[in-house]
Amino acid sequence: MKTVYFDNNATTKVAEQVLEEMKPLFCELYGNPSSMHMFGGQIGRKIRRARQLVADLLGCDPAEIIFTSCGTESDNAAIKGTLAAVPHRRKVITSRVEHPAVLTVCRELQNHGYTVVELGVDKQGRLDIAELEEQIDDDTALVTIMYANNETGVVFPIDKIAELVTGRGVVFHTDAVQAIGKVPLDLSRSNIDLLSLSGHKLHGPKGVGVLYVRKGTRMSPFMLGGHQEAGRRAGTENVPGIVGLGKACELAAKNIKDENEKVKRLRDKLENAILEKCPGSQLNGDKENRLPNTSNISFEYIEGEAILLMLDKYGICASSGSACTSGSLEPSHVLRAMGVPFTAAHGSIRFSLSRYNTEEEVDYTIEKIPAIINRLRELSPFVSS
Amino acid sequence: MWEYTDKLKDHFFNPRNVGEVEDPDGVGEVGSLACGDALRLTFKLDENGKIKDAKFKTFGCASAIATSSVLTEMIKGKTIDEAVKVTNRDIANYLGGLPEQKMHCSVMGREALEAAIENYRTGGKKKHELKGRVVCNCFGVTENEIERVIRENNLTTVEDVTNYCKAGGGCGGCKGEIEKILEKIQGDRAGQVFETAPRWAGRLTNIQKIQMIQQTINEQIRPALRADGGDIELVDVVGDKVIVALRGMCAQCKMAEFTMKDVVEAKLREFVSDELFVEEDKESANQPHNHRQ
C-alpha cells in the first residue's frame, strides 16, 4: 500500500539532494573541524558554507547563526540564556498556544520565582497585540511568541510584535520551527532578537537545529564545554546534520514561492472538499493568516484517534488534537485556548502537506474520508441514525 | 502510536453489535463528549433470564470502540448474575491487553454494564440520573456538582471550575451562572487571582549586580587576559564603582590603563550596566605574593 504523507508538521522527508550532501561525511570526510590537520580542518569549510546558506535563507549574517541539536534545544537555550543574562528582570511573556518546547520551559520558570504571563488567543487563534503591549513592563526580561502554530498553522504578526517588544527594551524570541521554509523571512529588516528553527521540518535531517542570535543580544551559553560555535554552544558539531540543514535551506530559498503556491493549492483543494463532503465539520484557525500547508479540521461527535486509525488503514498519515492520541485526558491546549468546544476538539484532525504531495494523493484522500466519518458517526451515541 | 493487539484492531475495524436493541430490558449510559468517550449499552433478556441480545453505540477512540464491541460479545448468553461479575480486567484480557493509558476504556465498559443492570433491576426506571439543576448543558453538569468542586477544591475562578468539572468548557453560555455560584460560595474571593509578591521591578539588587559582574569577568574578560598571560580579580563593588586587581603579566603591563578602560570597563558596561566604572586596586596589585602566576 502506498503511503500518503499528510503529517509534515510532525516531520518531513529528507530531500534526496540533502542526503547526497550528507553521505560523504560519515565514512570519508569524518574529521573533526576543530582538529589542527587538514583532514579535519577541511570540514570547517563545509560548516562555514552551511552557515552561509542558513543565513541566506533567513536574511542575516552567518555570525548570527548557532547550530544546535534541535528546535527544542534552541528554544531552551534562548529562554534560559536570555534570563541568565538579565537576572534582575523576572517576568516572561508568552502565549497559551506555544509548542511545549516553550510552554513547558516557561511554566517551569514559575518554580524559580518568575512571573509568567500566557497571552490568550481569540476563536480564530489570533493574539491580542494590545494585551501584549499592556503586559510589557520594566520587569519583563523576555517575550517569546511562536511564528506559526504547529497545530492550526495560524501565523502571528511577528515583525510587528518584534518591533513593539524590542522598542520597549525587551528581548524578543520566536519559535519559528513551523514557519521556516514556508514563510519568506528577512531578519535584516526585522527586530527579532532570537529565532529557533529545526532541520527536520524543512526536508533536512533530524538532530540539528539553529538558534539565530542577533548581534548584540545578551545571552549566556546553555551548553558549556569546548569553544565550538564561538563559545556559544559547546559540543562537537553534528557535521552531517549541519551540512544537510544547509542544503535544505538552500533548496527552501530557491523553491519557497513556487512550492508554496503548489502546496497551498493542494491544501485548499483537500480542505474545501472535506468541508463540503462531511457535514458537521469545521475549520480551526484563522483562514487568512495561515501557513500554506496546514489544515486543521474538526469533525463533531467523533473522536480523532479513531479517525486516524481508519485513515491509517488506507495508508493516509495525519495527526489529531484529541486527548486519546496523547495519553492525557485533555484535548489539544491550542484548540482549548481558542475556545473550540470539547465536542469538536476531540475530533480534530491536522493535515499538513509538503512539496512532495501530489494531486493524486489529495484526490485519493478526498475519496476515502467521507466514508470514514460516516462509519464513525454510525457508532456514535450522539448522532441519531 | 499505541500498541494495539490484533484482536483490538479487529473489533475496532469490524465492530460487532453496533446500534440499539429494540425495546431493551436494560439501558446503560456513561461518559460524555467532554471526557472524550461515551458509551450507550442496551440489552434484552430471553425467557430464561439470559442476555439474548446486546448492542452498543460509542463515541471515543479505537480502544473505546473495541472494548464496547467485546463487551457486547462477552455478556451475550450470560444471566444478569453472571454478567454483573464481569470486571474491567476481564474486558481488557479478552482483548489480549490494553495500553495502560487506555485502561479507562475497559472501566467505561464495566460502568456501562453496571448502569444497564441497575436500570434493569429498578424496572427500567433508574437511569444515570443527575441530581439538581443542570447548569452546563453541554456536559450535563449540575449546580450541586459545581458547588461541590468549588467547596472541596477552594476554587475562585470560572476557569478553575471548567478545569475541575468541565462545566463552561463547551459553548461557554453558562459562564455567567458559574460566576454567580462562585460568588455565592466564595463571596469576595470569587474571581480573585493571587498576585505575586511585589519586587523591585526591573531593578538590579546589589547581590544580582555583583553576581553579574563576577560572571562577566569570568566569562568575558578573564579569557582575553589569560591569552596574554594575565589575569584579573574582582576585589569589591561600591555602588557603581567596580574595584579590580590585575594579576600576572597584566599587573606589570604598561597598557594596563588601556586594558582597564577598553576591555574591563567596556565589557562590564555592555553586560551589566552602563553606569559602572572601574578602578584598579593598585595596593593589592603591588603585593607580589598576591599574584596568581
A308: CATH: 3.90.1150.10
Task: Look over chain B and give the mean of its residue pLDDT values, rounded to a whole number.
Answer: 83
Least CB–CB distance from B57: residue in A341, A346, A380: A380
Domain-ending residue, one of A194, A226, A252: A252
State how beta strands A65-68 and A209-213 pair: antiparallel
Cα B50 to Cα B174: distance, rounded to the nearest angstrom: 44
| Cβ-contact B84, B71 below 8 angstroms | no
Query: Are A146 and A246 found together in one domain?
Result: yes
C-beta atoms of B61 and A306 within 8 A: yes
Catalytic residue, chosen from B105, B165, B174, B250, is B105
Q: Looking at the annotation, which residues of A are catalytic?
A: 324
User: Global pTM?
Assistant: 0.79
| Contact with chain B for residue A137, Cβ under 8 A | yes
Residues 6+ apart with CB under 8 A from A201: A8, A9, A11, A12, A71, A177, A178, A180, A181
Chain A residue with minimal CA distance to B62? A306
| Contact with chain B for residue A314, Cβ under 8 A | no
Domain-ending residue, one of A252, A279, A299: A252
| Contact with chain A for residue B164, Cβ under 8 A | no
Alpha carbon A282 to chain centroid, angstroms: 23
Reading phi first (left if > 0) and then psi (alpha if -120 to 50, else beta), residue B17 is in left
| Contact with chain B for residue A346, Cβ under 8 A | yes
Judge whether residue B95 has pLDDT over 50: yes
Query: Are A214 and A306 found together in one domain?
Result: no
Read off the pLDDT of residues A307-320 as tens digits, 9 standing for 90 and up.
Answer: 999 999 999 999 99
- Which of the residues in chain A have pLDDT under 70? 323-330, 385
Chain B residue with minimal CA distance to A332? B36
Judge whether residue B2 has pLDDT over 60: yes
Q: Which residues of B touch A305 (CB under 8 A)?
A: 2, 61-62
**How many residues does this entry show for chain A?**
385
Query: Are A129 and A85 found together in one domain?
Result: yes
Query: Are A63 and A199 found together in one domain?
Result: yes
Structural domain contains residue A319? yes
Structural domain contains residue A117? yes
Domain-ending residue, one of A227, A252, A277: A252
Read off the pLDDT of residues B251-283 as tens digits, 9 standing for 90 and up.
Answer: 667 677 777 878 899 989 988 888 899 988 877
Read off the pLDDT of residues B16-32 as tens digits, 9 standing for 90 and up.
Answer: 999 999 999 999 998 87
Best to test chain B binding among A82, A83, A88, A215 (most B CBs inside 10 Å): A88
Query: Are A33 and A118 found together in one domain?
Result: yes
Read off the pLDDT of residues A235-291 as tens digits, 9 standing for 90 and up.
Answer: 999 999 999 999 999 999 999 999 899 999 999 999 999 999 999 999 999 999 999
User: Which ipTM was obtained for this model?
Assistant: 0.86
Structural domain contains residue A34? yes
Chain B 13-72, residues with CB within 8 Å of chain A CB atoms: 13, 15, 18-19, 29, 33-40, 57-65
A173 CB-contact burial (10 Å; exposed 0-12 / middle 13-18 / buried 19+): buried
Least CB–CB distance from A380: residue in B59, B205, B209: B59
Query: Are A264 and A210 found together in one domain?
Result: no
Query: Are A246 and A291 found together in one domain?
Result: no
**3-class SS string, A232-293:** CCCCCCCHHHHHHHHHHHHHHHHHHHHHHHHHHHHHHHHHHHHHHHCCCEEECCCCCCECCC
Read off the pLDDT of residues A176-215 as tens digits, 9 standing for 90 and up.
Answer: 999 999 999 999 999 999 999 999 999 999 999 999 999 9
Query: Are A234 and A286 found together in one domain?
Result: no
A65: CATH: 3.40.640.10
Query: Are A90 and A116 found together in one domain?
Result: yes
Chain A residue with minimal CA distance to B204? A88
Our count of domains for chain A comes to: 2
Query: Are A123 and A139 found together in one domain?
Result: yes
Query: Are A212 and A270 found together in one domain?
Result: no
Structural domain contains residue A345? yes
Helices (H) and strands (E) in chain B, counts: 14, 8
Query: Are A108 and A75 found together in one domain?
Result: yes
Structural domain contains residue A109? yes
Residues 6+ apart with CB under 8 A from A53: A246, A247, A249, A250, A253
Structural domain contains residue A41? yes
**Structural domains in chain B, sorted by start:** 6-121 (3.90.1010.10), 134-189 (1.10.10.1100), 206-290 (3.30.300.130)
Q: Which of A217, A226, A216 is nearest to A81 (CA)?
A: A217
Query: What is the domain range of residue A107?
Result: 16-252
Structural domain contains residue A186? yes
Structural domain contains residue A385? no
B136 is catalytic: no
B250 is catalytic: no
Catalytic residue, chosen from B35, B61, B138, B253, is B35
C-beta atoms of B37 and A343 within 8 A: no
